């Protein structure tokens, strides 16, 4: 199965820049389901038009926990699906840190996204302090259990988990390959315990945190790594081109 490459453009690009980058990325298409572009909300519609009749999927960077309601400023998962989004990032550490998102809120968003037929890309990962004090597995367990346990997650096997150590995001410091492998194996075990064997076997687990053209292959070569989530190195056409060429050789 080919790896899943997810590009997170964050709030870094204008709408015209997003359109131009999506146009540049089109030449790298390698069949449906391999590449996901996550532009800002305002660029989704325009980028959706660029991606028509390509196998490149569209993802949003967040969504609300409800399809409809008095939630000023929020974005409905059902509307994202109608717009052409197949995926939605949820629980990114930047949402947790800057917007106060809790595991409980992320759990509600995840259920709403699945109900809207979106594929959630649920981000988990430890901070530097937690990493240094040996709490990585405890943190991953807490995040996964709080978000996933309790309510039946219909279609949960469509979900993607992104292991993103907070200390690796935007720092140029990629986690060591053996650490990535160990974290992914642990996440897969927890998925089996919380959601059962089908989810354990089917949910894809991707790594994110300072992945670029130089490091992408080493990440993808690790067992249990089904893809990568790329921020900075996906936000310029030359850089994303190199990442995709390294990750998906012809």
| Residues lying near ligand PGA in the complex (CB under 6 A) | 8, 164, 169-170, 208-211, 229-233
**199: its two tokens:** 């989810």
Pick 200 or 242: Cβ nearer ligand PGA: 242
The helix-helix angle for 103-115 and 136-148 (nearest 10°) equals 50
Q: Looking up tokens 């204008």, which residue turns up?
A: 14
**160: its two tokens:** 């993607």
Q: How far is the CB of 51 from ligand PGA (least distance, A)?
A: 20
| Contact residues for 14 (Cβ-Cβ < 8 A; gap 6+) | none
Please indicate whether residue 29 is annotated as part of the active site.
no
Eight-class DSSP state of 215: T
- Residue 208, helix vs strand vs coil: strand
Q: Looking up tokens 């367990």, which residue turns up?
A: 141
User: Whole-angstrom Cα distance, residue 151 to residue 153?
Assistant: 6
Q: How far is the CB of 217 from ligand PGA (least distance, A)?
A: 15
Pick 49 or 245: Cβ nearer ligand PGA: 245
Report, in this order, helix, strand and coil percent for the chain, each rounded to 5.
50, 15, 35
Pick 94 or 130: Cβ nearer ligand PGA: 94
Q: Looking up tokens 């064997």, which residue turns up?
A: 197
Active-site choice (28, 92, 94, 184)? 92
Pick 194 or 220: Cβ nearer ligand PGA: 220
Residue number, nearest CB to ligand PGA: 231
For 143-180, letters b (16+ CB in 10 Å) and e give bbeebbeeeebeebbbbbbbbbbbbbbeeeebbebebb
Q: How far is the CB of 95 from ligand PGA (least distance, A)?
A: 10
Confirm if 12 and 41 have CB atoms less than 8 A apart: no
Active-site choice (28, 101, 164, 184)? 164
Please indicate whether residue 164 is annotated as part of the active site.
yes
Q: How far is the CB of 97 from ligand PGA (least distance, A)?
A: 11
Q: How far is the CB of 61 from ligand PGA (least distance, A)?
A: 9
Would you please indicate which residues are annotated as catalytic (active-site) residues?
92, 164
């Amino acid at each position: 199965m080919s790896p899943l490459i997810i590009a997170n453009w964050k709030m870094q690009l204008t709408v015209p820049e997003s359109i131009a980058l999506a146009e540049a990325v089109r030449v790298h298409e390698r069949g449906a389901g391999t590449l996901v572009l996550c532009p800002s909300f305002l660029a989704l519609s325009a980028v959706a038009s660029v991606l028509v009749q390509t196998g490149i999927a569209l993802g949003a960077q967040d969504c609300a926990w409800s399809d409809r309601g008095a939630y000023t400023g929020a974005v409905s998962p059902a509307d994202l699906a109608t717009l052409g989004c197949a995926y939605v990032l949820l629980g990114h550490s930047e949402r947790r840190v800057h917007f106060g998102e809790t595991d409980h809120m992320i759990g509600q968003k995840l259920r709403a996204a699945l109900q809207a037929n979106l594929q959630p890309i649920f981000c988990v990962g430890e901070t530097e302090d937690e990493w240094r004090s040996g709490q990585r597995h405890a943190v991953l367990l807490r995040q996964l259990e709080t978000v996933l346990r309790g309510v039946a997650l219909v279609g949960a096997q469509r979900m993607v988990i992104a292991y993103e150590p907070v200390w690796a995001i935007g720092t140029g410091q990629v986690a060591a390959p053996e650490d990535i492998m160990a974290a992914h194996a642990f996440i897969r075990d927890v998925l089996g315990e919380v959601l059962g064997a089908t989810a354990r076997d089917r949910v894809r687990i991707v790594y994110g945190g300072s992945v670029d053209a130089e490091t992408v292959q080493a990440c993808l070569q690790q067992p249990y790594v089904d893809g990568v989530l790329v921020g900075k190195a996906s936000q310029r056409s030359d850089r994303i081109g190199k990442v995709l060429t390294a990750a998906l050789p012809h």
